[in-house]
Amino acid sequence: MLRIALREDTTRDAIDDATHEAGFLLVNILPPSATHPAQIIYTTRDRLTFLHLIEDARLGALYFVVQGPSEEAVAGVLQAKLPLLSNAELSALAERMCG
């Protein structure tokens, strides 16, 4: 399982464009609840690798969780197409998560 943290200023249009261009298929949209943050779930065309776009309002974080046999390739595509957090921004996010 891989996590890919996006910059706060990443637009929904940019995410939609990147996932569409990569050929990912929209599977489900889950609104936030008491037990989980908002999620948009995609899969690869072979339906073996899943991407969960997590919008965690509590942490102020937007990130993908990628899981499956093609997770490295999928992560590479997302990293090439979307703005990611810098190391300093990742450290600050980790502090918020653990603090």
CATH code, 88: 3.30.310
On the question of pLDDT at 99 being above 70, the answer is: no
Tokens encoding 99? 């603090």
Residues contacting 37, CB < 8 A, separation 6+: 54, 55, 56, 57, 58
Q: Which pLDDT score is estimated for 15?
A: 96
User: Domain tally for the chain?
Assistant: 1
Give the pTM.
0.88
Q: Which pLDDT score is estimated for 91?
A: 80
Phi, psi angle pair for 65, to nearest 5° = -115, 120
* pLDDT (tens digit per residue) in 37-90: 999 999 999 999 999 999 988 888 899 999 999 999 999 999 999 999 887 877
Q: In 44-97, which ranges are E strands?
A: 50-56, 61-67
Q: Which residue is associated with the tokens 């995609």?
A: 42
Q: Which pLDDT score is estimated for 19?
A: 96
Q: Which pLDDT score is estimated for 14?
A: 96
What domain range is 55 assigned to?
A: 2-98
